[in-house]
């Protein structure tokens, strides 16, 4: 898939210990995005952060080394991202999802070998 121009970036913030049916929440989001045919998804693990509870979680303190922030980033056309949003309704018990307008300047997958 080749994409350029205006797009939406969906970023979903969850804890690395959040699960959905015994599977990491971030994994479930990525697999749902893949099944929906979205352009791509990436998971980024945070070293430190806090959310709605205002408790700081960090890798620097052994006692607080769990519940680290994870960001799942998905970019595609506005139409496809907005169509995907209901997929999150089942999943997000805790967390934050945000949308940003972005401009894709380069997106190209590898060419299949002939």
Predicted local confidence at residue 60, as pLDDT: 63
14 and 25 Cβ atoms separated by less than 8 Å: yes
**pLDDT band at 15; cut points 50, 70, 90:** confident
Q: What is the pLDDT of residue 86?
A: 94
Which single residue is written with the structure tokens 């804890």? 15
Average pLDDT over the chain, rounded to an integer: 84
Cβ proximity of 113 and 24 under 8 Å: no
67 pLDDT band, cuts 50/70/90, is confident
Topology (CATH) of 5-103: Alpha-Beta Plaits (3.30.70)
pTM attached to this predicted model: 0.81
Q: Are 38 and 76 in contact (CB under 8 A)?
A: yes
């Amino acid at each position: 898939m080749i994409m350029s121009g205006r797009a939406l970036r969906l970023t979903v913030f969850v804890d690395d210990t959040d699960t959905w049916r015994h599977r990491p929440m971030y994994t479930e989001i990525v697999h749902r995005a893949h099944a929906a045919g979205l352009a791509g998804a990436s998971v980024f693990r945070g070293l430190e952060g806090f959310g709605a509870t205002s408790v700081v979680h960090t890798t620097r303190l052994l006692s607080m080394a769990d519940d680290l922030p994870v960001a799942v980033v998905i970019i595609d056309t506005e139409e496809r991202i907005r169509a995907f949003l209901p997929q999150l309704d089942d999943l997000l018990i805790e967390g934050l999802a945000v949308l940003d307008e972005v401009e894709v300047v380069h997106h190209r997958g590898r060419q299949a070998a002939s």
